[in-house]
Chains A and B, each alone.
Chain A
Amino acid sequence: MRRLLALWEKETLALSRDVLGLAVLFLMPAAFIVVMSLALSDVFKGGAARQTEFAVIASDGPEFAKQLTERLEGDGFHPSPEPAERGVLHVTKPALTLIVPRGFERALGTPLGKASSVPALKLVADPALPPALLLAFQQRVLGVVLGLRVSALMRRAGVAADAEALDLKHAATLNVETIGGTGRPSSVQQNVPAWLIFGMFFVVMPISSLFVVERREGTLARLVSLRVPFSMLLLGKVGPYFAVNLAQAALMLLAGRTLVPWFGGETLALPARWDLLAEVTACTSFAAIGWGLLVAVCSRTLEQATVIGGVGNILAAAVGGIMVPRFVMPETMQKLSEVSPMAWALDGFHAVILRHGGAADIAAPCAKLLALAAALLAAALWVHHRRRVLTSAQ
Chain B
Amino acid sequence: MGTLNLEGVSFHYPGGGETVLDQVTLVIPAGGIFGLLGPNGAGKTTLISILAGQLHGATGKISADDEPLEALRRRRPLSLGLVPQEYAFYPMLTCAENLRFFGAVQGLAGARLKDRLAAAARFARIESALARRAGRLSGGLKRRLNLAIGLLAEPEILLLDEPTVGVDPQSRAFLLDSIRSLAGTERTILYTSHYMEEVEAICDRVAIIDHGRVLVSGALSEVTRDGSGLEELFMRLTHRSLRD
Contacts and interface: CB of A to CB of B under 8 A. Distances in A.
Contact of A7 (B45, B93, B105, B107): B105
Contacts of A3: 104-105, 107
A6 B102 CA distance: 8
A3 B113 CA distance: 13
A221 B54 contact: yes
B196 interface: no
A59 B48 CA distance: 95
B104 A6 contact: yes
Classify chain B's interface size. Answer: 35 or more
Given A18-B92, A393-B49, A222 B82 contact: yes
A225 B53 contact: yes
Given A14-B90, A227-B73, A9 B101 contact: yes
Contacts of A224: 52-54
Given A6-B104, A13-B93, A218 B45 contact: no
A205 to B, nearest CB: 15
Interface in A345-394: 388, 390-394
Given A6-B105, A391-B55, A13 B86 contact: no
Interface string A206-227: 0000000110011101111111
Given A10-B93, A221-B84, A227 B53 contact: yes
B41 interface: yes
Query: Which of A7, A18, A219, A226 has the most C-beta atoms of chain B within 10 angstroms of its own C-beta?
Result: A226
B46 interface: yes
Query: Which of A7, A219, A390 has the most C-beta atoms of chain B within 10 angstroms of its own C-beta?
Result: A219
A380 to B, nearest CB: 19
Interface string A1-42: 011011101100110011000000000000000000000000
A193 B91 CA distance: 35
Contacts of B46: 393-394
Given A222-B82, A225-B52, A391-B55, A10 B107 contact: no
B49 A221 contact: yes
B82 A6 contact: no
Contacts of B237: none
Given A393-B49, A393-B54, A17 B80 contact: no
A217 B89 contact: yes
B77 interface: yes
Nearest to A10: B101
A228 interface: yes
A394 B88 CA distance: 17
Given A3-B105, A13-B92, A393-B46, A217 B53 contact: no
Interface in A218-247: 218-219, 221-228
A362 to B, nearest CB: 37
A6 B54 CA distance: 21
A218 B88 contact: yes
Query: Which of A18, A392, A393 has the most C-beta atoms of chain B within 10 angstroms of its own C-beta?
Result: A393
B109 interface: yes
Contacts of B48: 393
B88 A217 contact: yes
B45 to A, nearest CB: 4
B227 to A, nearest CB: 35
A2 B109 contact: yes
Nearest to B82: A225
A367 B105 CA distance: 34
Contacts of A5: 104
A14 B73 contact: no
Given A2-B104, A227-B77, A217 B52 contact: no
B53 to A, nearest CB: 6
Contacts of A218: 84-88
Contacts of A6: 100-101, 104-105
A221 B52 CA distance: 9
Interface in B48-95: 48-49, 52-55, 73, 77, 80, 82, 84-93
Given A10-B101, A218-B84, A227-B73, A393 B106 contact: no
Contact of A391 (B49, B73, B84, B88): B49
A223 B89 CA distance: 10
A240 B105 CA distance: 17
A2 B54 contact: no
Contacts of B54: 221, 224-225, 390-391, 393
A153 to B, nearest CB: 83
Contact of B86 (A18, A217, A226): A217
Nearest to A214: B90
Given A217-B86, A225-B53, A394-B46, A14 B93 contact: yes
9 contacts: A2-B109, A214-B90, A217-B86, A217-B87, A217-B88, A222-B149, A225-B84, A226-B105, A391-B55
Q: Which 3 A-B pairs have the closest CB atoms?
A: A218-B86, A6-B104, A225-B52
